[in-house]
Amino acid sequence: MRAIVTSPGSESSRGQIREILAVPGSPRTILFSALGRLPVAMTSIALLFYIQRSTGSFGDAGLVSGSALVGTAIGSVVQGRLVDRLGPTRTLATATGIYVSAAALAFLLVESGGVLPVLMVCAAVLGLAQPALGTASRAIWAHRLPAGPAREFAFTYEAISLETFFILGPALAAILASLEWAGTGLVVAVAMMSVGTVGFLTSPLVRTIPRSSQRGRPLLHIIAIPGMQTLILAVLGFGIIIGFVEVAVPAVANLAGVSAYGGILLGLWSLTSVVFGIAYARRPWPRSYAHRAPVLLIGFGVLVALVAFVQGGLVVFTIALMVSGLLITPQATLHSLIVEAVTTEDQAAEAFGWVLAAVTAGVAIGHLSAGQIVEDFGPSVALASTVIPAVVLGGIVALRRRTLRGG
């Protein structure tokens, strides 16, 4: 197991950053990798808004966006193994071609009033082919940086930046979807993902990544680690709650007659989380990962559920929603720290792939469930329902807390 690198503000961290940037071609590679990974969670939420504004149904929108997320969850694991086996260029170039084609078909289907089952299949293919840059990006540092603090710093950056993009991406997509044409968010997401991936793959640094020599490992070997099993349960609950909010909050804005405000609400929710997360990281509580994971998950679900009972109009709802998002970034950071604590160095890349798959699957469950609840019972019931996965999965994580070493 590995220790976490020093804090970003320290002199040693600045030295590690200089060492990373000294690798020829690394600034360009980092830039395009970030551009391609920012929309990692934008596609599904952009689809959600696009379908909802085109059909008027949150139920249909949740089914389509949920299908895309199921595809993404599967694709992140499959592409990660293919990158190891075939290399990033061949794998991600093929995935990008399929991704762009599926996106074009999705636009055609929505604009022509395509039937729901066909839209769901198209969305699933779109998610499945969404380029998984994370594995390839980590592989660069494993190959080009010697074992030590600089490599650990690069790995930590990859993990935390990906989780941050997973938080900020949906907010950006929601804001873009509030523009005159509801498909704007999806266009921007596809463009950023495609340009970022192509720029990343054409970097000379990427072409130096060798194929993995560890081809015989079973697909589920990471899941055999007890700590990873517990972490995946925590991440799944985290994703489910986010998925519920991403559907219920726009529905609240829609009922209030200001549908464009839904994207702004999600943006404020994410922004508050990031700001609080920076402060929380300086003095996290509980200190132990084993206790922090269930406390943060249950607390997150309770805070979101309480928003359903807020009275006083949209302004009060906005404030309550911002408060409910305080625990997002602390959990995202904790997930990365736990991966570092319960896996070895050669397991970490695949473990992060499973974390991404778990949170994506959770958001998919949230979209699929919340869309139907909003249609049948309203957004307040959907928000209140988040306490159920939080308490159930948080309780299981608490019972398995001894498997979470570190902290």
Reported as a single tens digit per residue, the pLDDT across 112-161 is 988 999 999 999 999 999 998 877 787 777 777 777 777 777 776 776 67
List all residues 6 or more positions away from 352 whose beta carbon is below 8 Å from its beta carbon.
134, 135, 138, 158, 159, 162, 336, 339
What pLDDT is attached to residue 159? 66
Q: Which residue has the higher pLDDT, 167 or 250?
A: 250
Q: What number is the average pLDDT over the span 54-77?
A: 89
What's the confidence (pLDDT) of residue 7? Answer: 45
**Nearest residue to 226 via CA among 356, 341, 126:** 341
Task: Tell me the per-residue pLDDT of 347-364, one tens digit each, with 9 for 90 and over.
Answer: 766 787 788 889 889 998
Residues 289, 391: Cα–Cα separation, whole Å: 18
pLDDT at 4 over 50: no
Average model confidence (pLDDT) across the chain: 85
pLDDT tens-place string over residues 215-246: 556 767 788 899 999 999 999 999 999 999 99
* pLDDT tens readout for residues 88-117: 888 999 999 999 999 999 999 999 988 999
Can you tell me the distance from the alpha carbon of 268 to that of 258, in angstroms, rounded to the nearest whole number? 16
Residues 6+ apart with CB under 8 A from 86: 211
CA distance linking residue 23 with residue 140, whole number of Å: 10
Cβ burial, residue 372 (10 Å; 0-12/13-18/19+): middle
pLDDT score of 252: 93
pLDDT at 214 over 60: no
Domains of the chain from N-terminus onward:
19-214 (1.20.1250.20), 222-407 (1.20.1250.20)
pTM: 0.82
CB 123 within 8 A of CB 71: yes
Higher-confidence position of 382 and 26: 382
Q: In what helix (H) or strand (E) does residue 366 lie, and over which residues does it extend?
A: helix 345-377
